[in-house]
Structure 1
Amino acid sequence: MVAEDVLVKFFVILALLFFLPKVVGSLLKIPDVLTELIIGIILGIAIPSYFFIDDMLTILATIGIVTLFVYSGMDVETNFIVKNKKFFMEHIILHILIFVVVGLVIELYLHLSLQISFLVSLALTTPSASFILSSIKTINKERKQWIESKALSGEITGIILMVILLNLSDLTMLIFSLLTLVLLISILPAALEFLYKKIFSKIIGCEFSFIFVVAMISAFITEYVGVHFLVGAFIAGFVAKQFICDIVKDESYVHCSEHFGQQLIIGFGFFALIFTPFYFFTTGLNIKRSMFSSDTLIFSVLICIAVVLLRIGVMSLHRIIRIKEKITTAIDINAMCVPTLVFTFVITEILLIQYQINTLLYSILMLYGIFTTIIGSAFFMLAKRNKNIVRGTIKISEGKE
């Protein structure tokens, strides 16, 4: 009977997560991620005795978030960043300055330790590249490149800062963790190439499984040395993309065409699409009714307004001065980089488990992640609407001619 209940529960969740977000998205233009979160929040509050986090959901959610970060690593396009390296160096410096200012303000007003204050600041200021990239598929190429590169450079900076902050209290552990990451980045490409050449190239069709298993091992290694497992997953994704490009170009692997390489990367996108809903649903289940108190909502909204305005203002001013961009365009691009969703949730979970932050701060951070996503989505829908209006105007003008 217990097994039957688990199976029924699984199918109910599966049906809700795979179909309801698509229906809501087509009717209200709300991103799937927000709907998945809301489903988790509503069910967790309404029927907590039935919808709660168990081993099954934990495993599915972990696979989802690992795959999402692997795919984020694969999404890194270095050519555009290298081409505009001076701009992005300035962008990263500004990102770090905002992070430091927010961290110091938190330390001053909340009287937290510097380590916790800066981790909170990281949760408030680091863009969630995976969510942002999935939301901008329909916008024009040039603007898309800028948003992708800004989001990814911000997330990579956030990952590096997270590694440093998590080991800040132990200098030996920090050096060991950084050395492990350097070794992982250095050795992983050679390990992938060696294993594939000697063993897995002879097994046609195993490439996806091979890369996925290596990514999981990479995630385990970083977790084992005291760095969050998502860092290992991101590195594995970044290295795996270069590995795919290499085997596609290698004429000795006849079955590995350019189309095959593209399909491999797309496959990870679909894999993430299947499992990440469980992560956001599970995150929604963690949000309790008590988090929606007036104090929590007021603090969350005020912090959201302050940090979002600071981020958009500073980064937009940089674009206006540096590349002489129009004010409206600069604001649009930076507003779409506002969502901190996944990174906020990841850092908040670390703060709760490792540093035992209080319920109020935990609630504020969780709601902040949701609010930034709503703001970013609103700007995206506004940009899409303006684009459709422009297209309609052009068509009317052409018709009159």
Structure 2
Amino acid sequence: MSNELIYLLLIFGLLVIPRALQRFKLPAPITCLALGLAAMLVYGDRTHDPVVALLSTLGISSLFLFAGLEVDVPALRKGLGRLLVHLLVRTLALVALAWLTWRYAGFGWQASALVALALLTPSTGFILDTLERLGLDPEERFWVTNKAIAGELLALLALFVVLQATDPVQLGISSLTMVAMLVGLPLLFVALGRWVVPHAPGSEFSLLVMVGLVAAFITYKLGVYYLVGAFVAGLVARMLRLRMPLLASDDNIHALRLFATFFVPFYFFHAGTGISRDALTWEAAGLGVVLTLVMVPIRIGGVWIQRRLMFGEERGSSLKVAVSLAPTLVFTLVLASILHTRFDLPGVWFGGLILYTTLNTLLPSLVLRAPFNVDPLAGGGGWKAGSSHPEDQLEAEEAAPAAPRPEVSDAGARGA
């Protein structure tokens, strides 16, 4: 079979099969991950294809570029007090969990910190893409969005420091490079907006993606993975929205969402092919179940208690916000891979983290009755947040009596 046909079948499989299985409440990212794992078991090292790896990089970079564009600084300021409380609780939880992992699992402090981040950090990009299908009202969506973004900012900062902390010189060089990026990216965007965009109308999207990929590559070379640079590029573009409105316009954000929708499945497929065989053991499965039974209630309960006791929110609303923040899919996959390749994470823990993130990603689709997936048409053809679920709407339409046809009088008919 030719390579061209293999790639065509792979694209078809990753874009069609996961969508078809959503009717069974199976999240599309989980399906792609399972397909990658199945391919690894059948074909072994032949699944490590450079083309798939490139498409995977485009997927994870565009996803975090989109997440950076979704940061609304005025909105963060609006809920600053509550968000600071949330971040304080999150920081204490990270420190406590990292200490427990270091104390009882026997890992080094860096690996312990990364395990804590993998267990506690929500996947902001995917959470944002599911809000309109989780039945949340505008206030609940506001808090889910901003809590997820604030948590991701904290996690990215912690990831950057932890991965560089053993080498003060490298940490200093990397910090200076990040500062240079924060200064240089706005200048680059402005220069492109002044010298390129006027002569190439409609090129804002391609320039945005290009800059995001360059920033992602820079941070990857610094040893802190693609997602940090891509997120920073999206954040900078968002902050330039007043000066360059077309760069981070709603149309561009929607286009980037479509772009990510195409490439993200390759990331999950590639992540599935990277799962080692020693992670597929009963011990790993048992660890994953234990982590889920312990960590998910703690995480959901922590957010629920914050909103109930500290902010006086309603019980049901607090629970929906907490459940919506449960998925950790992307961060757990990224950090599990880093831990396995750079810190020699045992296969039992590798497999346990994979199962843990799979189970907590399933939670919103099971509890809130909505598929967990990146859907580029969610804001248009999909059902709106706060409305009833499509199944409920269908049942209501079937149960509702047919509307009577308007009567037309003979006089009215003759007049017509």
Do the two structures share a fold, i.e. TM-score over 0.5?
yes
Structure 2 CA distance for partners of 1:210 and 1:312, relative to 1, 3 Å: same
Superposed CA deviations along residues 221-273 of structure 1, whole A, max 9, x for unmatched, are 2223333221111000111233344223xxxxxxx5x9x93211111111101
Of the three residues 31, 54, 68, the one matched with 2:27 is: 31
Of the three residues 57, 65, 68, the one matched with 1:62 is: 57
Match of 1:200 in 2: 197
1:168 aligns with 2:165: yes
Contact 2:160 2:224 in 1 (8 A): yes
SS at match of 1:344: helix
Match of 1:91 in 2: 86
Match of 2:259 in 1: 271
Whole-Å separation in 2 of the counterparts to 1:132 and 1:108: 32
Whole-Å separation in 2 of the counterparts to 1:226 and 1:292: 28
Superposed CA deviations along residues 335-388 of structure 1, whole A, max 9, x for unmatched, are 110111100111111112222222222221222221221123323327999944
1:71, distance to aligned residue in structure 2 (A): 0.7
Of the three residues 31, 39, 42, the one matched with 1:43 is: 39
Structure 2 CA distance for partners of 1:202 and 1:90, relative to 1, 3 Å: same
Whole-Å separation in 1 of the counterparts to 2:360 and 2:333: 12
Where structure 2 has 5 or more consecutive residues not aligned to the other structure, the ranges are 372-384, 402-416
Contact 2:276 2:347 in 1 (8 A): no
1:103 aligns with 2:98: yes
SS at match of 1:162: helix
Query: Which amino acid is 2:31 matched to?
Result: T
1:154 aligns with 2:151: yes
Whole-Å separation in 2 of the counterparts to 1:380 and 1:189: 40
Query: Which amino acid is 1:219 matched to?
Result: A
1:364 aligns with 2:322: no
Structure 2 counterparts to residues 382-401 of structure 1, below 5 A: 387-388=388-389
1:194, distance to aligned residue in structure 2 (A): 2.1
- Give me the TM-score of the superposition, normalised by structure 2: 0.85
1:288, distance to aligned residue in structure 2 (A): 5.1
Alpha-carbon RMSD: 2.7
Structure 2 counterparts to residues 121-132 of structure 1, below 5 A: 121-132=116-127
Aligned-residue sequence identity (percent) comes to: 27
Superposed CA deviations along residues 142-178 of structure 1, whole A, max 9, x for unmatched, are 2111111111111111000000100111223223322
Contact 1:72 1:237 in 2 (8 A): yes
Query: Which amino acid is 2:240 matched to?
Result: F
Of the three residues 12, 18, 22, the one matched with 2:19 is: 22
1:286 aligns with 2:274: yes
Whole-Å separation in 2 of the counterparts to 1:91 and 1:224: 32
Match of 1:339 in 2: 327
Match of 2:209 in 1: 212
Match of 1:243 in 2: 240
Of the three residues 63, 70, 73, the one matched with 1:75 is: 70
1:227 aligns with 2:224: yes
Whole-Å separation in 2 of the counterparts to 1:245 and 1:15: 40
1:6 aligns with 2:3: yes
Whole-Å separation in 1 of the counterparts to 2:37 and 2:215: 32
From the CA coordinates, give the structure whose radius of gyration is larger: 2
SS at match of 1:137: helix
Match of 2:178 in 1: 181
Match of 1:327 in 2: 315
Aligned residue pair count: 385
Query: Which amino acid is 2:229 matched to?
Result: G
Query: Which amino acid is 1:315 matched to?
Result: V
Contact 2:60 2:226 in 1 (8 A): no
Contact 1:98 1:311 in 2 (8 A): no
Whole-Å separation in 1 of the counterparts to 2:223 and 2:263: 25
Where structure 1 has 5 or more consecutive residues not aligned to the other structure, the ranges are 249-255
Whole-Å separation in 2 of the counterparts to 1:162 and 1:10: 34
Structure 2 CA distance for partners of 1:78 and 1:104, relative to 1, 3 Å: same
Whole-Å separation in 1 of the counterparts to 2:365 and 2:353: 18
Structure 2 CA distance for partners of 1:271 and 1:391, relative to 1, 3 Å: closer
Query: Which amino acid is 2:334 matched to?
Result: V
Superposed CA deviations along residues 189-230 of structure 1, whole A, max 9, x for unmatched, are 122112320233322222122111111221222223333221
Whole-Å separation in 1 of the counterparts to 2:49 and 2:261: 21
Match of 1:136 in 2: 131
Whole-Å separation in 2 of the counterparts to 1:39 and 1:113: 33
Structure 2 CA distance for partners of 1:173 and 1:289, relative to 1, 3 Å: closer
Whole-Å separation in 1 of the counterparts to 2:64 and 2:10: 23
Of the three residues 362, 368, 374, the one matched with 1:374 is: 362
1:319, distance to aligned residue in structure 2 (A): 0.9
Whole-Å separation in 1 of the counterparts to 2:269 and 2:105: 30
- Give me the TM-score of the superposition, normalised by structure 1: 0.88
Whole-Å separation in 2 of the counterparts to 1:246 and 1:355: 44
Contact 2:193 2:244 in 1 (8 A): no
1:294, distance to aligned residue in structure 2 (A): 1.8
Superposed CA deviations along residues 24-75 of structure 1, whole A, max 9, x for unmatched, are 11x2132221221222223333x22596121111111111111111111111
